Amino acid sequence: MSITAFTRSVSDVAAESGVAPSAVRFYEQHGVITAIRTQGDQRRFDDSAACRIRVAKVAQRVGLTVREIAEIFAALPADPQPDDWGRVATTLIDEAESRTAALKAYLTDMRGGGRLCEIEV
Amino acid sequence: MSITAFTRSVSDVAAESGVAPSAVRFYEQHGVITAIRTQGDQRRFDDSAACRIRVAKVAQRVGLTVREIAEIFAALPADPQPDDWGRVATTLIDEAESRTAALKAYLTDMRGGGRLCEIEV
DNA sequence: CTGAACCCTCAACATATGTTTAAGTCAAGC
DNA sequence: GCTTGACTTAAACATATGTTGAGGGTTCAG
């Protein structure tokens, strides 16, 4: 087992993930990432923090909210392994495809009837 | 050619589309739907308004903003025909699939390297 | 051990997406 | 033609997603 190192500061994670420090604090507040605190009350993150944020940004683009993303990431242990990420990836992709499928189904039904838009919702 | 009838009031469109009257006004302000005005300054919408709103709601679920949806709907003429809706549908689906593809690519690259998340952005 | 650079919280601001409410106007049936 | 319900605008409120700034504390390299 590897020892999880909580060595990254807010600005470290911000630089690694490409978002502003304020966003790093925001994502921590909302459970997308987690931190331990130093004696002086400063946040320290592990390697996975920047990763989680980068994945979160892409997931937001397919319509997932920060809350939904945090819920999905709740399945990730500290120091996540490939299998852990794999399960999360599957969940995210399934959700994205499900939403796209709903869009396609709606548009297809709309055309299918020739009624353009009188379909039942 | 069919004569486009602008006969629907705000509450008519709200009822047809399943959103609140305030949302109907909001979507008009943001260009998702368009209205003519009566002599007394009340909004009147045509048949396509409720349809546009229902499509917009589904499109929002895949991450499109109201602004983006309005831009895509700008290609719809008054009294849109099946072909017009078809082009809009294609644009919406392409965008949704593009975003899902970006998510998949990101997650696949992440796993692929075995580095979990040290991929270049 | 000290100073520069970074961190803390909290509050205000900003944008997107709506809803609610107040004060006043319009429309449609009787 | 009047009444009643729906409409108008504008502003305030609410939630999501952040950013900025003030006032003060922490860390770490030298």
Q: What is the CATH number of the domain that holds A65?
A: 1.10.1660.10
CA distances from B47 to A86, B17, B80, B82, B103 (A): 46, 11, 10, 14, 36
What is the DSSP code (8-state) at residue A8?
B
In a domain, A2, yes or no: no
CB B75 within 8 A of CB B91: yes
In a domain, B108, yes or no: yes
CA distances from B81 to A110, B51, B75, B84, B85 (A): 12, 12, 12, 5, 6
A99 pLDDT tier (thresholds 50, 70, 90): very high
In a domain, A29, yes or no: yes
In a domain, A119, yes or no: no
What are the φ and ψ backbone dihedral angles of A8, each rounded to 5 degrees?
-85, 135
The pLDDT of residue A121 is above 50: no
For residue A41, give the nucleotide whose C1' atom is nearest its CA.
C8
Query: Can you tell me which residue has its alpha carbon closest to the C1' of nucleotide C5?
Result: A11
Q: What is the mean pLDDT of residues B6-25?
A: 97
| Residue B43, strand partner residues | B37
In a domain, A118, yes or no: no
User: What percentage of chain B exceeds 70 in pLDDT?
Assistant: 91
For residue A22, give the nucleotide whose C1' atom is nearest its CA.
D19
The residue range of the domain holding B30 is 10-112
Asked if B58's CB is within 8 angstroms of A62's CB, the reply is: no
* Count of domains forming chain A: 1
3-state secondary structure of B64: coil
In a domain, B81, yes or no: yes
In a domain, B27, yes or no: yes
| pLDDT reported for residue A1 | 58
| Alpha carbon distance A45, B48 (integer Å) | 51
In a domain, A65, yes or no: yes
Which residues does B72 contact at the CB level (< 8 Å), separation at least 6? B59, B64, B88, B91, B92, B95
3-state secondary structure of A121: coil
